Amino acid sequence: MTESAAQDAWTALAAQVRTWIADDPDPRTAAELTALLDQAESGPTSTPESASLEEQYAAREVVAAREDLADRFQGLLQFGTAGLRGAVAGGPHRMNRAVVIRAASGLGAYLLGELEGVTPAPRVVVGHDARHGSVDFARDTAAVLTAVGIDVIMLPPYLPTPVLAFAVRHLDADAGVMVTASHNPPQDNGYKVYLGGRVVTDSGQGAQIVPPMDGAIAAEIARVPSVAAVPRAADGWTTAGPEIVDAYVAQVGALADPSDEARARAKDLRIVLTPMHGVGGATAVRVLAEAGYTDVHLVAEQAEPDPDFPTVAFPNPEEPGAIDLAVALAAQVQADVVIALDPDADRCAAAVIDLRARTHTGAGSAASDGWRMLHGDETGALLGSVLAQRFGTPGAGSVAQDAPVLANSIVSSRLLSRIAAHAGLRHAQTLTGFKWISRVDGLVFGYEEALGYCVDPGSVRDKDGISAALTLAGLAARLKADSRGAVDVLDDLARQHGLHLTDQLSARFTDLSQIPTTMQRLREHPPVVLAGSPVVSVVDLAAGSDADRDGLPPTDGIRLLTQDDTRVIVRPSGTEPKVKCYLEVVVPVEEHASAESVGEARRAARTRLDAVRTDVAAALGL
């Protein structure tokens, strides 16, 4: 770009920034952008060789400010099937009040269009977590929707996402908005949209939006000329009382075994719980207590909502180190199970004692005791086995066409399909994301390997970490009463269906153009052997037939299958600049194999899985 063209581009950008600042309803982000603009116009972007160090530094600061503004103004933050998500800051490509007001206006226009001429007016439930900006974003949403005649119910402050998802169905709302960035870093916030009531009336009623709904709402957002043009009411919405949480707690509690024997088992179970600085702690403790689980130890450092997440580098239970405090406390208090929720409590992780994982360092430590976190697929298999017993007939041998359904995403383990068949239940696989899983007709349990579990789809059409936690606690209590543990159940499943071991390989890219390049390289030159086993099937999930894709709609991904039943799925992440590879190996296990033999099979599977990882990394050029 010539110097003249660069100056013209900057002049246009600076004008756009000034227009946005004048329209910004938030003095804080307006001041932030004004300071950045002042910095960007404070001097030249280059200096002669004779310039002093101070002059060179000042020029670099000007360039950095212009680059920052260019990034913030690259376009309006995209509204998609995850709603909105981004860093809280000024500008159209960030999460802020101006962007949220536009989003709420677009959502309101969409609902009024869908329900034109229908009475009563659309109803929307709005909830929020404790992240930076959440209170303002929720209040602005209520103000915008109320101003156009929509009936808005605002939930009490700082509630988990599953309570909002529950409220959409419980209150027969046409839509729900949850202000949260789930397990994203502290600088982020987000905006999830659910549709139900009279807008969505099929099995997706109360679930998060999917195409073409997201595109229709995005089109309405794009029609908003300015924030100043959007009316906002000063009041007029309804603020729900504690009864909505009471109803959620009662519904989740109904999943627990009410018998005296079960409550005695519950009283004997010691749980360590961490809400990861999020908003799920109080509700989860209450749900557990009302089901009889009163010996619950909260991780004190992570018990209260804190939008800065000070004890974790990344507030996601999957991330290394995230549950270290919880596991250390479990070793200290001699707990039976660790349960970790992500900050908005829609995900749930568990850690258990696995004697095979013991180390001989640090006597009395969690590692020496054998504490380890379960992989998401392991927890999915455990919960799937519980729901299979509840709704199926173990060893049924046949599956009725109208049998209940267990479902998981295409990148999750195939073990659930075998659990379902053994119990006479149907199985379905879906595209990644609970917006798809929760829409399965006849669903009684769904999960995805990224710690998302739905054990009560009739009430919450989304992943729900709190109801999953209660179900895990019930399983742990029954196993403890029988002097068994979660690992014993996993061993039983291995004996019945083969040992399924899964893992993930991810590659993060700073140059986003390398993501499609990497996928195309794999399409053109897929590996012919993985861990010594010939690749017998390569399916491009973006093309091929419905049979190749198992009836799934097209999606950007590649599935590899080897002669020894190893499966690899490679796909770009939908929320991060990553290419993700989902790996699964299956090792046969004898029906009456000893615990030692199952352990040997697990070690063999790990060796094979590591070899698969190496070969996939080489194929991707990583």
pLDDT band at 550 (very low <50, low <70, confident <90, very high): confident
pLDDT of residue 47: 85
Distance separating alpha carbons of residues 605 and 531, to the nearest angstrom: 11
Higher model confidence: residue 340 or residue 574? 340
Residues spanned by the domain of 416: 251-497
Q: What is the CA radius of gyration of the chain?
A: 26
What is the DSSP secondary-structure string of 349-369?
A: EEEEE-GGG--SSSTTSHHHH
Among 162-171, 349-358, 397-406, 568-577, whose mean pLDDT is lowest? Answer: 568-577
Residue partners of 162: CB distance under 8 A and separation at least 6: 248, 345, 346, 460, 462, 463, 464, 465, 466, 467
Q: How many domains would you assign to the chain?
A: 4
Q: What is the CATH number of the domain that holds 230?
A: 3.40.120.10
Query: What pTM was estimated for this model as a whole?
Result: 0.95
Residue 246 in domain: no
- What is the SS3 assignment for 124? strand
Residue partners of 484: CB distance under 8 A and separation at least 6: none
User: Which domain-ending residue is among 21, 45, 72?
Assistant: 72
Higher model confidence: residue 1 or residue 236? 236
User: Which domain-ending residue is among 497, 532, 563?
Assistant: 497
- What is the SS3 assignment for 225? coil
Distance separating alpha carbons of residues 250 and 500, to the nearest angstrom: 36
ω before 577 within 30° of 0 (cis)?
Answer: no
pLDDT band at 363 (very low <50, low <70, confident <90, very high): low
Distance separating alpha carbons of residues 92 and 95, to the nearest angstrom: 8
At residue 302, φ and ψ (nearest 5 deg) are -120, 15
How many other CB atoms are found less than 10 A from the CB of residue 610?
A: 14
Residue 324 in domain: yes
Question: Which stretches does DSSP call E strand in 13-91?
Answer: 84-87
Q: Which of 460, 458, 466, 251 is nearest to 343 (CA)?
A: 466
- Arithmetic mean of pLDDT, 518-547: 92
Check pLDDT > 80 for residue 411.
yes
Q: Which sequence positions are flagged as catalytic?
A: 182
351 to 284, 299, 374, 445: CA distances (angstroms): 17, 14, 6, 21
Q: Do 543 and 563 lie in a common domain?
A: yes
What is the total residue count of the chain? 622
Q: Do 472 and 511 lie in a common domain?
A: no
Q: Which of 585, 575, 579, 584 is nearest to 619 (CA)?
A: 579
Q: List % helix, strand, coil for the chain (3-state, nearest 5).
A: 40, 20, 40
Q: What is the CATH number of the domain that holds 608?
A: 3.30.310.50
- Residues 321-357 have pLDDT tens digits of 999 999 999 999 999 999 999 999 999 999 999 988 8
Distance separating alpha carbons of residues 13 and 374, to the nearest angstrom: 49
Residue corresponding to tokens 């010594």: 532
Q: Do 595 and 503 lie in a common domain?
A: yes
Q: Which of 144, 198, 142 is nearest to 171 (CA)?
A: 198
Q: In what order do the strands lie in the sheet with 443-448?
A: 426-430, 405-409, 443-448, 452-454
Residue 78 in domain: no
pLDDT of residue 1: 66
Q: Do 270 and 322 lie in a common domain?
A: yes
| CB contact at 8 A, 123 and 237 | no
β-pairing, 443-448 vs 452-454, is antiparallel
